[in-house]
Amino acid sequence: MKPLVLGSSSPFRKQLLAKLGLDFSCNSPQIDESPLTGEHAEQLVARLAEAKARAVAVKHPDALIIASDQVAVLNGRILGKPGNHQNAHAQLSAAAGNTVTFYTSLALLNASNNHLQLEVVPFKVHFRPLTADEIESYLHKEQPYQCAGSFKSEGLGIALFNKLEGDDPNTLIGLPLIRLIRMLKNEGISIP
């Protein structure tokens, strides 16, 4: 089997990939993740996943490279990682009672023959109405300041939702495993 490399520094993606029981290494791609003028969310995450995979392939020319990117969209506006408490509070206040769509891209690049598989997987999160006190309490408990949308669905963030809508719950955390399994099979790797 070709070496498998996860092109990410995300501990969440690393944990997700480990669920498949495959040997892999991690390499953090160093790319500019700024959106281009007029670029829509789906275009942005697709471009970034491919760029991450290609950046890592330079260091691992015989590997299968897995890369991903994710953005949250509320009312047509991309929500980035909040970075601090104030921004996270504003994001959750805006999301309360609304639906946020997450677009998660997945790229699998066979670096030896340049074969790229690339998909963007949507996942909808329906937030319940939230009070300012509930938002404050949640933020103090989880401090999700480096998470798109200001929550961790794999933790207490699940308490913020009315409903989740998508094919694969792993997509929301950052790595669509069902799609990845299909892509790996295309490269001759069957799981289990």
Give the active site residues: 69
**Rg for the chain, CA atoms, rounded:** 17
How many CB atoms within 10 Å of residue 176? 27
DSSP string, 23-70: --EE-------PPPTT--HHHHHHHHHHHHHHHHHHH-TTSEEEEEEE
Helices (H), the chain: 11-18, 41-59, 85-95, 132-142, 169-173, 177-186
How many CB atoms within 10 Å of residue 187? 16
